[in-house]
Amino acid sequence: MSRDDAIKIKGTVVDVVPAKGKVLYRVELPNGHRVLGYPRGRRQVLPRLAFGDTVTLEMSPFDFSKGRIVKEEET
């Protein structure tokens, strides 16, 4: 699957989930579903996100339970 196949959608961070050696984020989509978001790349290139931040996710068309956070939206 290429990046062209990825679905881009905006969402809001509703929870910060500490995981083994990294930080994951619970993101609520506009349709009410909650998915697990993770920063792109090996290092966490995003600044620390907090509750209520708006982000853009890239999701695979095969797995709607998680997505890659590609950027934080300016509000």
Joined together, the tokens standing for residue 19 give 């995981």
Q: Where are the domains of the chain?
A: 3-72
What's the full length of the chain, in residues? 75
Range 3-72 has CATH code 3.40.50.970: no
Compute φ and ψ for 55, nearest 5 degrees: -130, 165
Distance in angstroms (rounded) separating the CA atoms of residues 9 and 62: 15
Strand partners, 68: 38, 58
State pTM to two decimals.
0.81
What are the tens digits of pLDDT across the range 8-66? 999 999 998 888 877 889 999 999 999 999 887 766 555 678 889 999 999 988 888 99
